[in-house]
A and B are shown apart, each in its own frame.
Chain A
Amino acid sequence: QLQLQESGPGLVKSSETLSLTCTVSSGSISSSNYYWGWVRQPPGKGLEWIGSVYYSGNTDYADYNPSLKSRVTVSVDTSKNQFSLRLTSVTAADTAVYYCARHGGEYLQQLTHWGQGTLVTVSS
């Protein structure tokens, strides 16, 4: 059974960089044809897709939400079977539960498997 687990600091200072890692178990990022992505949810609010990455032929191909594209990087580390999120210049508006997830295939489509989520608070 595929499992995803987020990890990273729960507190980030305003203007600094948020970095999270998603560790994938019982499935290989490098040998599977899936997109892997990040979704966030501010406390008490709805869901926002951040970006997703597809790994093929020793290259990762990323797609981002245009509203965050200038600040976001999603990348893959196949040696650790992990993918990561970097979000620069954070503000209080970036406070949210961050989920990593796997899409249903090699396109940006439904999200079939999710991590449990990790709360990141941006402090001033």
Chain B
Amino acid sequence: DIQMTQSPSSLSASVGDRVTITCRASQGISDSLAWYQQKPGKAPKLLLYAASRLESGVPSRFSGSGSGTDYTLSISSLQPEDFAVYYCQQYYNNPLTFGGGTKVEI
């Protein structure tokens, strides 16, 4: 299985801050990476796929980058509605695996 390691596991930030979350795969995944946002009591919501492609309807303040084993999710200017848990997921190999999550708190 490909292990996905996210860092940090949690962070505190303020509205307007730039936030970066890192996801490292245990082997190369050729940009087969998605990012999700999950709010309490809700299903995850897809933000980006193929490492850097923005899902339709997702604000452009979200962006993704990286290659090989190391990927990042950035939020350029944190908004109140962005406080949530973020997960990365690889789909390069079966089984699909998720990172442990990063909680973004005020």
Contact = CB atoms under 8 A, between A and B. Distances in A.
Whether A and B are associated in the same complex: the answer reads: yes
A61 interface: no
Nearest to B41: A117
Interface stretch (B15-23, B76-84, B94-102): B94-102
Interface string B50-76: 100001000000000000000000000
Interface residues of A, number: 22
Interface string A32-63: 00000000000000111100000000000001
A104 B49 contact: yes
A63 B94 contact: yes
Contact of A47 (B42, B44, B49, B94): B44
A110 B44 contact: no
A82 B1 CA distance: 29
A111 B57 CA distance: 15
Nearest to B4: A46
Contacts of A48: 98
B101 A46 contact: yes
B98 A49 contact: yes
A110 B89 contact: yes
Contacts of B87: 46-47
B49 A114 contact: no
A67 interface: yes
B43 A109 contact: no
Given A108-B91, A115-B43, A47 B34 contact: no
A114 B45 contact: yes
B7 to A, nearest CB: 14
26 contacts: A46-B98, A46-B101, A47-B87, A47-B98, A48-B98, A49-B98, A64-B95, A65-B96, A66-B94, A67-B95, A99-B43, A99-B44, A104-B49, A108-B91, A108-B94, A108-B96, A109-B32, A110-B34, A110-B46, A111-B34, A111-B36, A114-B44, A114-B45, A115-B43, A116-B42, A116-B43
Interface of A: 46-49, 63-67, 99, 101, 104, 107-112, 114-117
